[in-house]
Amino acid sequence: MSCLCWDVLIVLAVIFLAVWLYFQYSYQYWASKGVPYLPPKFPYGNNNRIFLKSTAFASEAKDWYDAFKKQGHKFGGVWSFSRKVLVLVDPEYIKDILTKDFQFFIDRDVFSNEKYDPKGTHLFNISESGWKPLRQKLTPTFTSGKMKMMFGTVLGCSNFMIDFMKKSTSSGLDIDIREVLASFTTDVISTVAFGVESNSFDDSLNDIRRYGRTLFQKLTPGLALRVFLGRSFPELAKKLATKGMRQETQDFFEMIVKSTIDYRRKNNVSRPDFLQLLMDMNQEPQNSDKYVSFDQIVANTVLFFIAGFDTSSTTMTFTLYELARNQQLQEKTRTEIVKVLKKYDGQITYDSLREMVYLQQVVDEAMRIWPPLVSLGRICTKDYTLRDTDVTIEKGTAVVISTLGIGRDPEYFPDPEKFDPERFSSENKAKLHPYVHLPFGEGPRNCIGLRFGLMQSKIGIIRILTNFRLTISPKTKMPLTVDPTFFLLKSNETLYLRAEKL
């Protein structure tokens, strides 16, 4: 072997040894602080799934939650490769981190690169310095008045879905309900976020649907590397100018936003949608508290698309799945819907949704078992001591809350796999700890679009239940299991339903 080869091998060996020593040093961290921990394995730490699809923690957080819960701990330490992560188990500590002591945990544990990727920096991932001003600017776009303004648009989009389902049922076809609902939410978000009329049921490969799918694509080597760096070495990822989204996808959505804005301004067109609200803010003086830049418009319309498209379709998918498995509960839900709509001359209105109390219980119970976000992550932004302990969480430490784990914890929800909407009756809900059901997060940085998400989900469910009786198709492989690789909930199995026209 040549001297050059030996030199290369020696250098690689030295690098490996240095990395190994660094990891071993890191792996002493939680023990040195007296925090219970799960034994890590070099080099993965406690990541039992490598190169996950998201820079946020996926369903592995449930494994950590269950392990610490079984050991009787209120919190515990793990590692993502060499990165330190604190797992919260006790809901009182969850309340402290999300609400009571929020000022210590302002940042979400989601990668962003504000310097090199302004069009990829939005309300969900923006850091401490820019979060509050942006939240204050966008909050008025999600008031009840604005929801009422967009209600008719959302309701109109549901017609495409119902027409498609009627054609499918008349042909005796089973329905891939997730795909149907994803097409519905794509049409909704295309209209209210980008101002683009879309019918994904006639053209399932339209550009918005196609590029929307790339946001949830399978891992490519390049994406795997970006995810790995953003998740385990975020500071290095920022220095390397790493972006969270494919450039091609970002360019497509930017093109849609720009062309729509140019068309509306040139032709003096105004529409009751999210994009119009942002356009109006863009016209404010730049020193105004209401002003948003073009980059912010692009970033937050993309966020609105991601959040409104996936979380709402997930909520509807699993709500209808549970109702298809429980015919009595399906009929009870339908009966309430029909009864309320009679008061409104059979018309679905914004106010009628508020009177459907049992429907809300059904949706809450579906989100308990199948939370759209399977984990919540925060970053400690300044040193913080956990209440009633001498444990200090140091600045920069990640904190994770498993919504999937706590929602299926038998201590709070006996027989947790059972679908029982009565858990969320007004009487029973009052007995629950307020931080064991967190489908939209909690505290000052909860989901800003929760009203829109619930409105969209309820419209979809109401339209389907008033037109069809649903059952599970034999094609569906049961029981459903959770895709462990993504922090947005998805089942490994395709969920097929049979729909009988009423």
Q: Binding site for heme, residues?
A: 447
Strands 392-393 and 107-108: unpaired
- Which residue is associated with the tokens 């959505």? 253
Residue numbers belonging to the annotated binding site: 447
17 neighbors 185 (Cβ within 8 angstroms): no
- Strand 75-80 to strand 83-88: parallel, antiparallel, or no bridges (unpaired)? antiparallel
* Angle of CA points 112, 301, 160, to nearest 5°: 135
CB 123 within 8 A of CB 107: no
Per-residue CA distances from 143 to 140, 147, 283, 354, 450 (Å): 6, 6, 21, 15, 11
Residue 331 host element (H or E): helix 327-342
What residues form DSSP beta bridges with 400?
87, 377
d(CA 24, CA 279): 52
In terms of Cβ atoms closer than 10 Å to its own Cβ (0-12, 13-18, 19+), residue 72 is exposed
Q: Which helix (H) or strand (E) holds 483?
A: none
C-alpha span between 182 and 204 (Å, rounded): 10
Helix 177-194 vs helix 247-267: crossing angle, to nearest 10: 50
Closest CA to 310 of 220, 218, 216: 216
Q: Which residues pair with 471 in a beta bridge?
A: 498
Contact present, 190 and 211 (Cβ < 8 Å): no
Close Cβ partners of 317 (under 8 Å, ≥ 6 residues apart): 177, 178, 181, 495
* Rounded CA separation 118/181 (Å): 31
Dihedral sign (CA 317, 177, 459, 137): positive
